[in-house]
């Protein structure tokens, strides 16, 4: 798809040069033609590490030369959610690379308020901030406290971001997944003490063993699988909280007696807040969040047509692929 060259930035905008684009599940689904939020053709790319080239009138937040992460959630700033400090779930939300064209190109203009600069982070690190933001926001939604057992279901990139911030909160993290190599990645690279294979005869019994019979007080499902999300209702302790981080196009059903008997709290988590981006950048700058293990595959932009068909294969072992523009 050929796109016109971006125009000079208008008031409140910035012209940026894209250096890195992270590939996520949304992009994979879009490549397969199965992304329900898309109209085609579409320029993908919403996990971006960029350099500011020029700014429009009135912009003081960033300046030419700044390296930035991009908050790709274009909110209306007028609806109730926006007025209530929840721009991540704006009623008119458009996401770069999903509802409108994204950053898998050399240059684009973006609202300057969506740029989050860092003087020290690399473009690789900046491109990972959005993925980390999903986990950061989900853990904030869960109000996770130090010492709690937190079960993270799904060890894909979003689940891994949840793991990182659950560990940062001081939780005792348990990861449940069907993929043994992903569980080993959590154990070896992220230092997760407790992993459970979803194919075990009785995952619930394994969770009881790990928690001393109490079960986790927080369950965060990052699979986007109806089967997993429905099974997740079996795992929280009495009085526990559940957060659905992944989503799918369909209905989730659960048994009401068990839900009420345990007085569970169920929450959805969508995207991330501007302050999440700021917090993540500071944590990565302080080396409290290590992004080094994340990037397992790379390709230049002109190599994407050859690389993408391989990255979508489960046996490739992709955790996070990074496109170098």
Quick one: pLDDT band at residue 190, thresholds 50, 70, 90? very high
Quick one: pLDDT band at residue 6, thresholds 50, 70, 90? confident
The predicted structure's pLDDT at residue 34: 67
- Mean model confidence pLDDT for the chain: 94
The predicted structure's pLDDT at residue 1: 57
The predicted structure's pLDDT at residue 51: 98
What tens digit of pLDDT does each residue of 93-116 get?
A: 999 999 999 999 999 999 999 999
Residue 228 has pLDDT above 80, yes or no: yes
What's the whole-number mean pLDDT along residues 143-170? 96
- If we measure between CA atoms, which residue out of 215, 273, 231, 223 comes closest to residue 247? 223
The predicted structure's pLDDT at residue 35: 67
Quick one: pLDDT band at residue 201, thresholds 50, 70, 90? confident
Alpha-carbon distance of 258 to 172, in angstroms, equals 25
The predicted structure's pLDDT at residue 5: 81
Residue 276 has pLDDT above 90, yes or no: yes
CB 191 within 8 A of CB 172: no
Per DSSP, 59 falls in state: -
CB 284 within 8 A of CB 145: no
Go through the domains of the chain in sequence order and give each one's CATH number. Answer: 13-119+294-324 (3.90.180.10), 135-268 (3.40.50.720)
What tens digit of pLDDT does each residue of 229-265 get?
A: 999 999 999 999 999 999 988 999 999 999 999 999 9
Backbone angles phi, psi at 150, to 5 degrees: -120, 125
CB 136 within 8 A of CB 161: yes
The predicted structure's pLDDT at residue 312: 84
CB 47 within 8 A of CB 108: no
| Cα separations in angstroms, 272 against 23, 140, 304 | 18, 10, 27
H/E run at residue 23: strand 13-23
The predicted structure's pLDDT at residue 2: 66
Residue 271 has pLDDT above 70, yes or no: yes
> Residue 5 burial by CB count (10 A; 0-12/13-18/19+): exposed, middle or buried?
exposed
The predicted structure's pLDDT at residue 58: 97
Residues, the chain: 325
Quick one: pLDDT band at residue 26, thresholds 50, 70, 90? confident
The predicted structure's pLDDT at residue 33: 73
My answer on whether omega of the bond before 41 falls inside 30° of 0, hence cis, is: yes
Residue 315 has pLDDT above 90, yes or no: no
Give Cα 171 to chain centroid, integer Å: 19
What 3-state DSSP class applies to 169? coil
What tens digit of pLDDT does each residue of 300-311 get?
A: 999 998 998 888
Show the CA angle centred on residue 175, arms to residues 171 and 181, nearest 5°.
140
What tens digit of pLDDT does each residue of 9-20 get?
A: 999 999 999 999
- Using the CB atoms, write b or e for 108-133: b if 16+ within 10 Å: bbbbbbbbbbbeebebbbbbbbbbbb
The predicted structure's pLDDT at residue 262: 97
Backbone angles phi, psi at 234, to 5 degrees: -80, -15
The predicted structure's pLDDT at residue 131: 96
Residue 166 has pLDDT above 60, yes or no: yes
H/E run at residue 176: strand 172-177
The predicted structure's pLDDT at residue 246: 94
């Amino acid at each position: 798809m050929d796109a016109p060259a971006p125009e000079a930035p208008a008031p409140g905008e910035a012209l940026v040069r894209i250096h890195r684009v992270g590939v996520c599940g949304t992009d994979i689904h879009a490549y397969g033609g199965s992304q329900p939020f898309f109209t085609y053709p579409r320029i993908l790319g919403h996990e971006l590490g960029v350099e500011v080239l020029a700014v429009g009138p009135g912009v003081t937040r960033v300046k030419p030369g700044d390296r930035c992460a991009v908050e790709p959630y274009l909110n209306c700033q007028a609806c109730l959610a926006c007025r209530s400090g929840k721009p991540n779930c704006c009623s008119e939300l458009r996401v770069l690379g999903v509802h409108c064209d994204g950053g898998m190109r050399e240059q684009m203009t973006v609202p300057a308020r969506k740029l989050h600069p860092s003087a020290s982070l690399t473009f690789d690190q900046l491109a990972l901030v959005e993925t980390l933001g999903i986990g950061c926001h989900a853990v904030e939604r869960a109000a996770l406290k130090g010492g709690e057992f937190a079960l993270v279901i799904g060890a894909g990139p979003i689940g891994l971001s949840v793991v990182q911030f659950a560990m940062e909160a001081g939780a005792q993290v348990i990861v449940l997944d069907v993929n043994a190599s992903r569980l080993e990645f959590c154990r070896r690279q992220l230092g997760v003490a407790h992993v459970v294979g979803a194919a075990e005869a009785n995952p619930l019994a394994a969770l009881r063993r790990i928690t001393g019979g109490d079960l986790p007080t927080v369950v965060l499902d990052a699979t986007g699988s109806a089967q997993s999300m429905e099974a997740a209702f079996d795992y929280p302790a009495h009085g526990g909280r559940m957060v659905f981080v992944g989503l799918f196009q369909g209905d989730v059903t659960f048994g009401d007696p068990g839900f009420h008997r345990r007085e569970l709290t169920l929450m959805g988590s969508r995207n991330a807040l501007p302050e999440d981006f700021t917090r993540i950048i500071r944590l990565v700058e302080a080396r409290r969040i290590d992004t080094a293990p994340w990037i397992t595959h790379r390709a230049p932009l002109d190599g994407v047509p050859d690389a993408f068909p391989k990255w979508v294969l489960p046996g490739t072992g992709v955790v996070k692929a990074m496109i170098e523009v």
